[in-house]
Amino acid sequence: MSRGRLLALLLALSPALAHPQSGRPVDLVMVRQGQSWVAYADNRLGGPVEVELSATELTGVITDATLPLRHVLPARQRVAMLRLTAEGSGGRHALQLDATPGAPGQVARDVVYSLPVDESRFELGQGFHGGFSHQDEANRYALDLIVAEGTPVLAARDGVVMQAISGYREGGADRALAARANQIRILHEDGSMALYAHLQEAAVYVNAGDEVTLGQMIGRTGNTGFSSGPHLHFSVQVNGGMRLVSIPFRMIGPDGLLPLQH
């Protein structure tokens, strides 16, 4: 078996390479170059993403860099991560690419966020450290605003849309649905990111790369994903080094600052 044929076969055995998932923020793409293959990370988002390339198996294959390998990809950029060349007919490899939105090491400014729903039609649900679903690092400092389904969602701060996910219909109090929430992620000028989640199907009105301004309508509330009822989940996050970390924030309502710690 030729060296080029060997690597092509190994590529076909890796589902992550052969079948990119459109819902992933970054795709791993393999490109043939002579007798080698080059692994590219393709950032699909409208903002920076930190990626880590690792191997669950690497036998009889020469690489031009030591794994695991981390890199920050600019918005909508494809970057070469690794070159692989088989040493002989017995080489095997399996690559894995993990991605986290945002660039690590960003320090969020102390900003008072605007209420992202109509001021006269909301109730405070879970706040910071909410016992139902606000216990993990990515959601510890999050706010649930209980509103009727279809309520307009407004940008709480100027920014650029990093990611806009739509197409999901199902919602319920089942953690298996956690990855099936329609949502919008907006990047702010200080590197922090706002997450607007559980949006209504076919009611995400922005796309990755769009610039949004404070108060702009970006979608409508829904009940998709891991959700016990119609509401808007809002949080501010930063990349803590290949992991999303929610951070405390302040938000203004019709009667002053909202009591988020409850």
Query: What is the rounded distance in angstroms from the CA atom of residue 115 to the CA atom of residue 122?
Result: 10
Instruction: Check whether residue 49 and residue 83 sit in a common domain.
Output: yes
Instruction: Check whether residue 143 and residue 234 sit in a common domain.
Output: yes
pLDDT in tens, the chain (262 residues): 233 322 332 332 222 222 223 457 899 999 988 888 999 999 999 999 999 999 999 988 999 999 999 999 999 999 999 999 988 776 788 999 999 999 999 999 999 999 999 877 789 888 787 766 677 888 889 999 999 999 999 999 999 999 999 998 888 777 787 778 999 999 999 999 999 999 999 999 999 999 999 999 999 999 998 788 899 999 999 999 999 999 999 999 998 999 887 5
Q: 166 with 206: CB under 8 angstroms?
A: no
Question: What distances in angstroms separate CA 260 from CA 50, 106, 157, 215, 257, one per listed residue?
Answer: 30, 23, 18, 20, 9
Q: Which two tokens stand for residue 174?
A: 């089942």
* Strands of the sheet with 61-63, listed across from one edge: 26-33, 36-43, 78-86, 61-63
Instruction: Check whether residue 174 and residue 49 sit in a common domain.
Output: no
Q: 196 with 32: CB under 8 angstroms?
A: no
Instruction: Check whether residue 90 and residue 219 sit in a common domain.
Output: no
**Domain's final residue, options 101, 132, 165:** 101
Instruction: Check whether residue 119 and residue 183 sit in a common domain.
Output: yes
Does residue 118 belong to any structural domain of this protein? Answer: yes
**Domain's final residue, options 101, 131, 156:** 101
Instruction: Check whether residue 155 and residue 199 sit in a common domain.
Output: yes
Q: 128 with 136: CB under 8 angstroms?
A: no
Range of the domain at 231: 112-257
What domain count does the chain have?
Answer: 2
